[in-house]
Amino acid sequence: MKVLLSTCVLLGLPMLASAASHDLMTFVEEYDLNHDGAVSKEEFEQERDRRFAATDADHDGGLTREEYSNEYRARLTQKKPDAEKLERQMKQTEVRFTALDSNKDGKISPAEFAYSGWAMFTRHDSTKDGTVSVKDKVDG
């Protein structure tokens, strides 16, 4: 059973890492800090760093399961989903946390968090020009 779970987690890591990115348009909305219609690597990194710091409630340099879950619940609640959808999404939080905590120490480190973010960025950057924009949807 452990082998099956580990295999599922390993095979699903790229998919899970990108789950938080939603679709291309949501990604651009969330990370386009200067509102020019494109997300540069610098904007993305700046926003990811800000999100990590905001999620790390106890400021110890790692995201616990509770911190990760609380941040995600707060973001989802702002979108006012129905209770069933909220709980379904929250169940996925556990799966994502397990996948992102690659060294299994019970915390997501800045490096583990960054890896998941860059996986999202590169997946959306279909033009491979170092930015993510609506052009990636057309060309990708």
Summarised one tens digit per residue, pLDDT across range 11-58 is 343 333 333 456 888 899 989 999 999 999 999 999 999 999 999 999
Tell me what pLDDT residue 101 has.
96
Pick the CATH number of 21-139 from 3.40.1350.10, 2.40.170.20, 1.10.10.10, 1.10.238.10: 1.10.238.10
Instruction: Determine contact, residues 54/71, Cβ cutoff 8 Å.
Output: yes
- Whole-number Å distance between alpha carbons of 118 and 48: 10
Q: Tokens 């609506």 correspond to what residue?
A: 134
- Could you say which DSSP state residue 126 is in? T
- On average, the pLDDT of the chain sits at 83
Terminal alpha carbon distance of the chain: 38
Q: Where are the domains of the chain?
A: 21-139
